[in-house]
Amino acid sequence: MNRLVKDRHLITNVILTLTLLALFASTGLAAYLLGLEYLPGIWWGEGDDDPFGSAFMESRWIVADSPPPLAPLPLTSVYVGEGDLLSANAYLLRLSDGGVLLDYDAGARVFPASLTKIMTALVVIESGIDMEETVTISRGLLTRLEAEDASTAGFGAGDSVKVRDLLYGVILPSGAECSEALAVAVAGSVGDFVQMMNTTAYRLELRNTNFSNPTGLHDDSQFSSARDMAELLRYAMLNETFRSVFLTKDYVSAPTGRHPQGLAMQNRVAKNLAVALMPEVFSCKTGYTRQAGICLASYLIVGGEEYIFVTMGAPRDIDDVYLHDLDFIAKKISRPLHPLREG
């Protein structure tokens, strides 16, 4: 009888062991087929909780860096070879489904230059400030920005300007005086406004982004990535006010002391792209500092599809650098895309 009991116990252990092995193998196969970079691990143990003596104690996922993805990410669809892009970093996003069609070192932390002003405009709009409120441009502000060689929209010292007009000044001519004047009007100080910018970045899960000013003037502690900027612009375009400002190419402000007929502003790069070669580029925001290189955040419609395309870190000494990378991408997405090619 004891022999029979032992045999049954042995058979039971063998069956359980084979079952666990089958489960282990099928789990590993499933992970492989799903493309997960995680391997099932075997942990050996001893003690009263181990039903098989020195056999399996438990099986768990070995996670190297982060939890497994909740869902597969869209495959990159635009192949970029050596020399295809002038920019060091690029990211192409399809708005209809969030598909990532190009990720060219897009997670690298780089300096954003005036792409910063996308966040500046968004924070101003989301603050709820009255668009008809007037803000006075101080002489001290203009003097300091001139010394820093910052781009300005052209408002004069003492001008009382509507918030709405300053908002257009932030995006179209990339006016630093508009950015700082709005920052103080919204938050009371530039420092408090920057905190609002970083709070928004955290809320939007822009993990490779940090701001130290609202203008994009160089600061070693101010950085972002092509991916974060694309995600920021995608979110901002959902706001009707931001979208209206961003898609405008020409605008005239209300009369001011220095500009009794109103200050005429335009997005020159967007106008040049549309007229010269690329009507599918609806609008864009430019940026440049010596440390950041040339940056561009674009909104395109090609073949009825909307796209966000962000490039950063292009060299300044190449003619038509804005046009080159946009033209390359527009041609790629105007014809059928192919699955990711290994390079």
pLDDT digits (tens, 9 = 90+) for 142-166: 999 999 999 999 999 999 999 999 9
Report which of residues 276 and 342 the model is more confident about: 276
Segment 335-342 shows an average pLDDT of 45
For residues 42 and 158, membership in a common domain is answered with no
The model's pTM: 0.76
For residues 146 and 277, membership in a common domain is answered with yes
Which domain range does residue 55 map to? 2-62
Residue 97 lies in a domain: yes
For residues 204 and 263, membership in a common domain is answered with yes
For residues 313 and 213, membership in a common domain is answered with yes
Residue 83 lies in a domain: no
Residue 71 lies in a domain: no
**Is residue 335 very low, low, confident or very high in pLDDT (cuts 50, 70, 90)?**
low
What is the total count of domains within the chain? Answer: 2
Q: Which residues are catalytic?
A: 114, 117, 174
**Is residue 331 very low, low, confident or very high in pLDDT (cuts 50, 70, 90)?**
confident
Last residue in a domain, options 62, 77, 109? 62
Residue 69 lies in a domain: no
Residue 81 lies in a domain: no
pLDDT digits (tens, 9 = 90+) for 30-78: 444 444 433 333 333 333 333 333 333 332 233 333 433 334 445 567 8
Last residue in a domain, options 26, 46, 62? 62
For residues 164 and 310, membership in a common domain is answered with yes
For residues 106 and 211, membership in a common domain is answered with yes
For residues 144 and 259, membership in a common domain is answered with yes
pLDDT digits (tens, 9 = 90+) for 196-219: 999 999 999 999 999 999 999 999
Which of 128, 131, 134, 180 has the alpha carbon at shortest distance from 153?
180
Residue 70 lies in a domain: no
Residue 156 lies in a domain: yes
Pairing between β-strand 89-94 and β-strand 305-314 as defined by DSSP bridges? antiparallel
Instruction: For residue 223, give the CATH number of its domain.
Output: 3.40.710.10
Residue 84 lies in a domain: no
For residues 120 and 32, membership in a common domain is answered with no
